[in-house]
Amino acid sequence: MSSRRFVTLDQDGTADGWLHVVVKAQTGVFYQQQYGGHMCRQGRVEGFLVPVFGPDGLTALRNLFERELAGAGTWNHSWPDDERERLRGIIESIPYWASDGHTEELHALRLDESRISDTDEAWVPVITPDGPGLLLWANSD
């Protein structure tokens, strides 16, 4: 029996209003996600899933990717300074609770600008207090 497991997030595309961070770690669990708007890219990341709650951040992400960037994905997007700053602000508005098992502490997510070229609709590299990860939500297609 394989120790690797694959979890597809929102398999049938009917879940809405969710935000998750998958923190990269060697867990044997791989989360699969369709992303990239109408480009329908398929991504996979190994780690652990942390649900986050940020309805205003989710609305802002959808406005940016689905309306302003037309839901066509951002593969090879140049991310001009004003768009990058806006994305950075949206990501920082999403709270992330980190815990050591005894206490919880609120942190802001940070855009991982060293991986900005990987950024796409429903697939944004972030930095958490637990390490690098990906911010995921329901793809718009």
Q: Is the distance from CB of 93 to CB of 55 less than 8 angstroms?
A: no
- In this prediction, residue 85 carries a pLDDT of 96
Provide the residue range defining the domain that includes 132.
Answer: 5-137
Count of domains forming the chain: 1
Amino acid (1-letter code) at residue 69: L
- In this prediction, residue 14 carries a pLDDT of 74
- pLDDT digits over 6-42, tens only? 999 987 777 778 999 999 999 999 999 999 888 889 9
- pLDDT digits over 60-107, tens only? 999 999 999 887 878 778 899 999 999 999 999 999 999 888 999 999
- In this prediction, residue 2 carries a pLDDT of 66
Give the Å distances, CA to CA, from 62 to 52, 98, 139: 16, 25, 9
Q: Is the distance from CB of 2 to CB of 33 less than 8 angstroms?
A: no
Q: Is the pTM of this model over 0.75?
A: yes
